[in-house]
Amino acid sequence: MFVRRTFWMSLLFLLRGIGAVPDAFQAEVQPRINEYCLSCHGEKKAKAGVNFATSTNAASLFRNPQMWESVIRQLEDRQMPPPDKPQPTLEQRIVVIEFLKHLLDNPDPSWIPKDPGNSVVHRLNRTEYNNTLRDLLGVTRHLADQFPADGGGGGGFDNNADTLFVPPILMERYLTAAEQAIEAADPARLRRTPAVWYRTERGQALKDLEDLATRAYRRPVESMEMESLTRLFDSAREHGASIDLAFKGAVKALLVSPSFLFRTEHVESGRAAWRLTDFELASRISYFLWSSMPDDELFRLAEKGQLREAPVLDAQVRRMLLDPRAHALAENFTGQWLGTRKLATVANPDRGRFPQYNDAVREAMMAEPVEFFASLLADNASLLRLIDADYTFANRALAEFYGLPKVDSDHLARVPLPDRRRGGVVTMAAVLTQTSYPLRTSPVLRGKWILEEVLGTPPPPPPPLVATLPPDDHVTEGLTFRQRLEKHRKDPNCSGCHSRMDPLGFALENFDPVGRWREKVSDQPVDASGRLINGDEVNGPVDLKNALLARKGLFLRQVTGKMMAYALGRGLEYYDLPAVKKITNQLTTNDYKAVTLVSSIVQSYPFQYRRGDKPIEMAGTGR
């Protein structure tokens, strides 16, 4: 791996002094960019859409900080400049890398606007709707399953507000679901008084209705809203309805109200940004951790105005993560981040060739990463266990599938692993299966998955009209599948990306298309060796995990960014970079603890603030 000369660079900074240089980018980086990069990445030619000519000072880096993060990685891995182009000296390369890192890690506040991000009214997605009805009315039926499927937007999660549209058919389904919810409701949730409905006086009925509306709207009900519900109740009574029916009619109106179906936040005109109210913060926290409404304790703290106090907020996060409802975070975040949820709808493996892959195994496969992540939250364990761990979660079906000691239960339980071949999400069968083809493994898909989902360094899309590889791994024309792939990689249009992806994927070749361990492929010994782009040799999953742990900084930033996107319900933007870096640093100083990640996100500026209608000031950005 490329060696960072941190001591040498510290001395360089001390001698020159960042403050003494008018613009570190112009002084130390731009000359090297002009000399070695501009011929391919300038105004006349901008290969891969990268144009360095538009970056003229340190502030301009933050027009596209993700691109400059990629530049750093490619310089470290010696991917750029290409081998057939003039190369900078080792010292020049170190200087550029270290200056870029320093500038990106220590931006002047004026370079990045303090922007909490786009504020879109957030419709409850199907999971949130079901869970909210459960906690509001005691309804355990999944009534939202009859709604149209939710989208998956920025960050890849189905709670992204930008993709939660309201098609016309959805309003019809809301009406039907409201009626079904009332019929299935726990009477004690509808009416919090011991009196029997039809004997309750009007005043008590309206008090119960106000209490229910306050919880349903996740904030104190406004007087105009209560007046509207009261009119509905009284009108029904005037037309001969019993108190019971009049009450249920008002509840139906409540359940189709935008204040219930959408997570709304107050608007302050003429301001660039403002802090959320305690009730709004309570909703953000509860839908982040539970995919559901706040509970009584969050409501109580919000009513007292105490929730925003940092120690109180941290204590609430820890309390909520120990609640069974926190399993929703593990299930919804993990299944979508890792892509393992797809196994529920995509029939990937050929069951004729892999009869051991059955419905019971598939369900256990999908549950394994969820239970594993849930255990990290419950135990406040290190997030690095996602890369390497000495245990996993398995039931009877999955333990037999993996060849582990017998588990006498259909429920997943923590199971010790005999060696490091397994352990961590990369070697879980759900991941290995969804990155394979029906009849064979795919080192390309597996390597691409690691780059995208584990390291956050996705390769560019493949060029058009790329030759395809055969659908199975049989020896053909005397060539193994690996030999055919290596022949394919010699194409200069393909070699750049394949040199990054394939070695990572080859390290997992001991796992077959459904994630079982194997020693041979088509009667040939498995070759799980490869050379990573930085020159490191890997051979098998243990070496691969060591290589990933060596780049834990990239992994921590990736998991932080993914969870922040999930928490905010939107894709991340360049102005979120300071928050991501701050949280990543907090993880590093707190032994990578899972609860630190969650609590730090809740305490962050983007989570606690909302963008207004006044333009964000961006003085000094060079835009």
Going by pLDDT thresholds of 50, 70 and 90, the confidence category of residue 104 is: confident
Residues 365-397 have pLDDT tens digits of 999 999 999 999 999 999 999 999 999 999 999
Overall average pLDDT of the 464-470 stretch: 61
With pLDDT > 90 as the criterion, what percentage of the chain qualifies?
60
Amino acid of residue 423: G
SS3 letters across 489-519: HCCHHHHHHHHHHHHHHHCCCCECCCCCECC
Mean pLDDT of the chain: 88
- Residue 198 confidence class, pLDDT cut points 50, 70, 90: very low
Q: Quote the pLDDT of residue 489.
A: 63
Would you say 538 and 532 are in contact if contact means Cβ atoms under 8 Å apart?
yes
Residue 391 to residues 364, 404, 418, 559, 593: CA-CA distances in angstroms? 15, 11, 9, 21, 17
Q: With cut-offs at 50, 70 and 90, classify the pLDDT of residue 465.
A: low
pLDDT classification of 480: cutoffs 50, 70, 90: confident
> Is 435:321 a contact under the CB 8 Å cutoff?
no
Q: Cα dihedral sign for 131, 135, 137, 141?
A: positive
- Lowest mean pLDDT segment, chosen from 23-32, 178-187, 264-273: 23-32
The count of other CB atoms within 10 Å of the CB of residue 418 is 10
d(CA 82, CA 391) in angstroms, rounded, equals 42
Mean pLDDT of 181-200: 69
The pLDDT > 70 percentage for the chain reads 88
User: What's the pLDDT score for residue 113?
Assistant: 78
Residue of 474 and 8 predicted with greater confidence: 474
Alpha carbon distance 113, 131 (integer Å): 36
pLDDT over 50 (residue 160): yes
Rg, Å, the chain Cα set? 28
Contacts of residue 284, Cβ cutoff 8 Å, sequence gap at least 6: 263, 276, 567, 602, 607
Name the residue type at position 38.
L
Q: Which residues are registered as beta bridge partners of 525?
A: 520
Phi, psi of 415 (to 5 degrees): -130, 125
pLDDT band with cut points at 50, 70 and 90 for residue 346: confident
Q: Which of 191-195, 224-228, 468-472, 597-601 has the lowest mean pLDDT?
A: 191-195
pLDDT of residue 574: 81
- What angle (nearest 5°) sits at the alpha carbon of residue 547, between those of residues 543 and 549? 115
Strands 273-275 and 391-394: unpaired
Rounded to whole angstroms, how far apart are CA atoms 118 and 133?
A: 28
Report whether pLDDT(364) > 60. Answer: yes
Q: What is the model's pLDDT at position 620?
A: 43
120 against 71, higher pLDDT = 71
Mean pLDDT of 109-121: 81
Does pLDDT of 1 surpass 60? no
64-73, 175-184, 433-442, 501-510: which range is least confident on average? 64-73
Evaluate if residue 466 carries a pLDDT over 70. Answer: no
Give, for 254, the enclosing helix (H) or strand (E).
helix 243-255
Looking at residue 16, its pLDDT comes to: 44
At 478 the pLDDT is 66
Give per-residue pLDDT as tens, 555-587: 999 999 999 999 999 999 888 988 998 999 999
- Is residue 365 within 8 A of residue 426, CB to CB? The reply is no
- Quote the CA–CA distance of 482 and 544 in Å, as a whole number: 18
Determine the pLDDT at residue 195.
47
pLDDT interval class at 19 (50, 70, 90): very low
Q: Find tokens 């796992």 and name the residue.
A: 511
* Closest listed residue to residue 339, CA positions, set 383, 369, 375, 384: 369
Q: What is the DSSP letter of 574?
A: G
CA distance 516 to 510: 8
Q: pLDDT digit string (tens) for 227-284?
A: 999 999 999 999 999 988 999 999 999 999 999 999 999 988 888 899 999 999 999 9
Query: What is the per-residue pLDDT across 300-313, written as a single tens digit (0 to 9) for each?
Result: 999 999 999 999 99
Q: What is the pLDDT of residue 102?
A: 78
The end-to-end CA distance of the chain, in Å, is 36
Among left, alpha and beta (phi > 0; psi -120 to 50; other), residue 212 is alpha
Between the CA of residue 389 and those of 167, 334, 386, 552, what are the distances in Å?
A: 44, 17, 7, 14
